[in-house]
Amino acid sequence: MNRSCKRREAGVPGIVDRAGRAGGWALAMLAGLGWAGDPASAQRATPPTGLADRPALLSAIAEAAIERNREILDAEYDLALANGQVAEAWSDFYPSVSLSSSYTRNVAPQVSFLPAQIFDPSAAQGDFIPVQFGADNLWNLSVNLEQTLLDPQVFVGLGAASRFRGLQREALRGRTQQIVTRVRIAFYDLLLAQEEVRLTANSLKRVRQSLEETRAMEEAGVAEVYDVLRLEVEAANLEPNLSRAENRLRAARRGLAAELDLDPEAEIEVAGELALMDLDDVGANSPGNRDILAFRGESLAEAPELDRLLRRGRANRSDIRQLELTETLRKTELRIEQADYLPSVSAFGSYGLAAQQNGMPVFFGTSAQRGTTKQVGFRVSMPIFSGFRETARISQRQAALRQAETQTRLAGDQAEIQLRNLVDDLQEARSRTRGQHLAVSQARRGYEIASARYREGLASQLELTDAEVALRQSEFNYAQAVYDYLSTGARLDEAAGTVPLVDMPIAGGASGEGDRG
């Protein structure tokens, strides 16, 4: 049984509808790759060594993170607790019924002394007669019922519990958006590390190939020893660069594995090549790159104007919605304190049964030994004076409400600044990808020309080295520009509240059903 099934059986609502629909096949696919963990045990799943032959898509990685990430699981438990508080608040609307029963065996029944003149007027003053009260066996049974008819605090308290549940639901949505965004960036980090390893290895391969050709030319008397030494130095400089790139690749894998609750040393391979990604023609890309480009929120998919993006961010951004819900919750808490001045009315009823008998115990004796009591009534309670406690509590709630309102306005202004900055960064990164894409084409063509000229003895080894360095640098610069574009787009999606795989807020408020109280 996977973890998502355990969550549903425990009564924890699903994170998002779309994620719930997609999570099943995503985990099934990852299980086929050996990724599915065993929730019944505390061990983490470790992908098999053959996983590198089947790299995972970004969409599948994100869906698996929604199912497996422990921070999301923690937020789901918070929502489950809030659901329990709503159910507890509803219990105040139902009648309260209690039953109690007891049996007492008097080993030595109580004896009291009464004046003898009560029974014999001629008795002497000061004479007493012992009288036994109670039989050997005492039986008691009582049933009590109470129903709240009017209690403003109960009604307002239900609304507070429902609003708190809405806040936790939005907190779960916000946490899910954060995790999906972090997984996207971790995925891009891993792609960039893979590109650095691949480009550095290709560069080292080209230098070693040029070194072999130069050595052959030096033996033939065409090249000089200095050319060989220069290439040997360049190859020696590239080898530690490759080692550092491989270390960064392992670190990126560990970061992504942590988001997926996998073993840190899991051999995760992801699909996509930043240096080969064509942002202008999506169809010209590999399946992995097409999945990366398709995995984006509405803020990028529709390319909205800045003003529209700002409006959408204020409406959908989870942290702002949480502050707005907190503000509503503070208002409800203020009404709870104010409602304490109002009266409460309840109806009650009770039924009692008592019996006494001597000798061997007989369950509640005979009909002649039993007696019953029945009571019904109403109870009205209203506070008169509590030492100004309620006045002080109301002042506290009013201050908390003003604080929540200030935080909401501050967060809105900060969100607008962040959105504007991210839009500028996205546009700059997109412009840089166009320029770097042209630079890669020119550098590749320049290296081919320099290689051909060098083999024909028309160019120096220095020209060939410069051409190779320019090609390596331009390829990595393009990969870096694509990485900046994709990672900035991921942060922009989160800032606008339109992260893929995470549903939009419920219309009319994130508090959801049951929040009208």
**Domain ranges within the chain, ordered by starting residue:** 3-91+155-334+389-496, 96-150+344-381
Q: Are 270 and 55 in contact (CB under 8 A)?
A: yes
**Alpha-carbon distances, residue 382 vs 169, 343, 371 (angstroms):** 36, 4, 35
86 vs 309, residue with greater confidence: 86
Confidence at residue 304, expressed as pLDDT on a 0 to 100 scale: 63
- Looking at residues 451-464, what average pLDDT do you find? 77
Q: Does pLDDT of 352 surpass 70?
A: yes
Q: Are 297 and 490 in contact (CB under 8 A)?
A: no
Query: Quick one: angle between helices 306-316 and 389-455, nearest 10?
Result: 130
φ/ψ (deg, to 5) at 141: -145, 135
**Range 96-150+344-381: architecture per CATH:** Single Sheet (2.20)
Q: Does pLDDT of 51 surpass 90?
A: no
36-49 pLDDT, tens per residue? 444 433 445 444 33
70-114 pLDDT, tens per residue? 899 999 999 999 999 888 888 888 899 999 999 998 887 777 888
Confidence at residue 12, expressed as pLDDT on a 0 to 100 scale: 41
* Fold of domain 3-91+155-334+389-496: Outer membrane efflux proteins (OEP) (1.20.1600)
Q: In what order do the strands lie in the sheet with 96-105?
A: 96-105, 137-150, 344-357, 370-381
Q: How many CB atoms lie within 10 A of CB 489?
A: 23
- Looking at residues 298-313, what average pLDDT do you find? 74
Parallel, antiparallel, or unpaired for β 370-381 and 344-357? antiparallel
Q: Does pLDDT of 171 surpass 70?
A: yes
pTM of the model: 0.73
Indicate left, alpha or beta for 447 from its phi (over 0: left) and psi (-120 to 50: alpha): alpha
379-421 pLDDT, tens per residue? 998 888 878 888 888 899 899 999 999 999 999 899 889 989 9
In percent, the amount of the chain with pLDDT more than 90 equals 28
The whole-angstrom separation of Cα 35 and Cα 48 is: 8
φ/ψ (deg, to 5) at 264: -60, -25
Confidence at residue 103, expressed as pLDDT on a 0 to 100 scale: 92
